[in-house]
Amino acid sequence: MIRLNNVVARYTTVRGSINAVDGVTLEIPDGCILGVAGESGCGKSTLMKLIYGDVTSPMSLASGSIEYGFADGKGRAITSDNIRDVWFNRISYIPQSSMNSLNPVVKIGKQFVDFPGSDPDKKRVLAQVREYIGKLGLPAETLDAYPHQLSGGMRQRVMIAMATFFSPDLILADEPTTALDVVVQKDILLLLMDLQEQMGNTILLVSHDMGVHYQVTTRMLIMYAAKAVEYGDSESVFQAPLHPYTRMLISSLPTIGDDRARDGIPGRPPSLWQDLHGCRFADRCPLATARCRAEEPMLVEHKPGHWAACHYAGELADRAEAA
């Protein structure tokens, strides 16, 4: 169980500071694939950095705390302070620009063992890795190749191999398949799902593509303008979204074989530089009332295991049931 207690991630720049993640409280059960969705700039990538513990200036964990619920090799409970010691051991990260996240002038094999998390006996580890990557559809000689000799799909498999070799408790994947073609993307996503099933650990997947979330995730978190607006089981979030933003996000995507008219969400997220109050989606929300603009809706459990931050989420739930 990973617990986020009202975490706030702040960016301090020369022009002042903004909260890229503004008070998120969440409990992530173990053994699930949590999808994090939202428009670009909503704070989803910042949340990932926060959970991974990659907090370097100008970003800082302004308030709140994270409890990871798993321990390191020596039995010490992991917290935000000592998370770095277990990077690529108990927790790992799959970066977005996987295409050039490998050192172009060093062989792949060497990059598997040049970090402290791995076992000091490099030869033994490399032998195990050579056998392990076979399971991920990579030929053994990949380890002796240089990154530029591999295709995009293969490089992404290497990244996944690196991130899963030590079977960590938590894997964070930030848009892992964005740069890949749709055919290769499917194989990679299926591979991630298989590995999660075998290891039984937790994967946090950030993607802007709701289709990817529908296919892969078991739980969904929707973010908007640095706030968590909906959180719950993927099935119910897709079938009966409680928050108007989620509803519009899902309905704005054209689907092959479905001729219903689709239109994008007009307007733009509010600038985080202004001081915002009330519901941040109010300007773009068809259901917005005076109450929405005045009072900020909290993330409330309107249905068992299904949270939403909208004053009218309850009515939407009943109306959905009635329909």
Partner 1 sequence: MAVILKTTGLNKVYRLGSFTRSREIRALNDINIHVESDRPVIVSVVGESGSGKTTLAKTLLRLVEPSSGTATIYDNVVAGKGVTKLGRDFLGAVQPIFQNPFEAFSRYRPVDAYLHETATRVAGLDKAQANDAVAEALAAVGLDAVDVRGKYTNQFSGGELQRVSIARALIPKPNLIIADEPVSMIDASRRMIIINLFRKLKEEAGRSFLYITHDLATAYYISDFVAVMSKGTLVEFGPAKEVMSNPQHSYTRLLLDSIPTTRTRWRPRAAKAA
Partner 2 sequence: MSDIRDTAVSPADLAASEATPEAKPVRRDRASWLWLLNTRLVLGLIIILIFIVGSFVLPFFAPHDPAQQATYMKNLKITPAHWLGTTALGQDTLWFLIFSIRNSLILGIFVGLGISAISTAIGLSAGYIGGAYERIVMLIVDSFITIPLLPILIILGALIRGNNNFFTIGLIIVIFGWAWNARTIRSMVLSLREREFINMARFSGAGTLAILVREVFPYVSAYLVVGFINTILFAINTEATLAVIGMSKVDVPTLGSIIFWALNYNALFTGNVVWLVAPIVATITLFLGLFLTSTGFNAAFASRRGVA
Partner 3 sequence: MGVLQYVGKRVGIYLAVLFIGLTVTFFLPRLLPTNPIDAYIGQLQARANGQLTSEAIAQLRTSLEELYGLKGDLFSQYLSYLNRVVRHLDFGPSFTYYPTSVSSMILTALPWTLGLLLISTIIAWILGNLVGVVAGYFHTRRAATVLEVVGILLYPIPYYILAVSVILLLAYVIPIFPLSPTFPVGQLTPQMFGSIIYNSTLPALTLVLAGFGWNILSMKALAVATTEEPYVTFARLKGTSNWTRMVRYVFRNAMLPQVTALALSLGTVFNGALLTEILFSYPGVGLLMRTAASSGDYDVLYGAITLSIVAVATAGLIIDLVYPLLDPRIRHR
Contacts to partner 1 by CB under 8 A: 29, 32, 39-40, 181-183, 185-186, 189-190, 193, 208-212, 214-216, 218, 233, 235, 238, 248-250, 252-258, 262-266, 268, 305
Q: Which does 58 bind (CB under 5 to 8 A by kind): partner 1, partner 3, partner 2, none?
A: partner 2
Q: Which does 106 bind (CB under 5 to 8 A by kind): partner 1, partner 2, partner 3, none?
A: partner 3
Beta partners for residue 309, in sequence order: none
Closer of 55 and 145 to partner 2 (Cβ): 55
Smallest separation (angstroms) from partner 3 to the CB of 37: 22
Identify the H or E element spanning 190.
helix 182-199
Identify the H or E element spanning 22.
strand 16-28
Smallest separation (angstroms) from partner 3 to the CB of 87: 4
Smallest separation (angstroms) from partner 3 to the CB of 100: 5
Smallest separation (angstroms) from partner 3 to the CB of 17: 18
Give the separation between CA 166 and CA 110, rounded to whole angstroms: 16
Stretch that binds partner 3, among 36-44, 59-67, 88-96, 196-204 (CB under 8 A): 88-96
Closer of 18 and 199 to partner 2 (Cβ): 18
Please say whether the beta carbons of 313 and 322 come within 8 A.
Answer: no
Stretch that binds partner 3, among 69-77, 85-93, 119-127, 279-287 (CB under 8 A): 85-93
User: Would you tell me the crossing angle of helices 182-199 and 152-164 to the nearest 10 degrees?
Assistant: 10
Binding residue (CB under 8 A) for partner 3 from 22, 37, 46, 52? 52
Q: Which does 321 bind (CB under 5 to 8 A by kind): partner 1, partner 3, partner 2, none?
A: none
Closer of 52 and 231 to partner 3 (Cβ): 52
Of the candidates 45, 181, 155, the one whose C-alpha atom is nearest the C-alpha of residue 100 is 155
Binding residue (CB under 8 A) for partner 3 from 5, 64, 67, 88? 88
Say whether residue 152 binds partner 3 (CB under 8 A).
no
Task: Please return the burial class of 288, using the count of CB atoms within 10 Å of its CB with bins 0-12, 13-18 and 19+.
Answer: middle
Give the separation between CA 63 and CA 6, rounded to whole angstroms: 7
Smallest separation (angstroms) from partner 1 to the CB of 265: 5
Binding residue (CB under 8 A) for partner 3 from 39, 54, 209, 283? 54
Give the separation between CA 87 and CA 52, rounded to whole angstroms: 8
- β-bridge pairing 170-174 and 91-94: parallel
Smallest separation (angstroms) from partner 3 to the CB of 70: 17
Please say whether the beta carbons of 313 and 321 come within 8 A.
Answer: no
Stretch that binds partner 3, among 64-72, 89-97, 253-261, 299-307 (CB under 8 A): 89-97
76 token code pair: 């010490």
| DSSP assignment letter at 296 | P
Give the separation between CA 187 and CA 193, rounded to whole angstroms: 10
255 token code pair: 């689907």
Given its phi and psi angles, is residue 200 left (phi above 0), alpha (psi -120 to 50 degrees) or beta? Answer: left
For 302, other C-beta atoms within 10 Å of its C-beta total 21
Say whether residue 6 binds partner 3 (CB under 8 A).
no
Closer of 147 and 153 to partner 3 (Cβ): 147
Residues that bind partner 3 (CB under 8 A): 52, 54, 84-85, 87-88, 93, 95, 97, 100-106, 114-117, 146, 148-149, 162
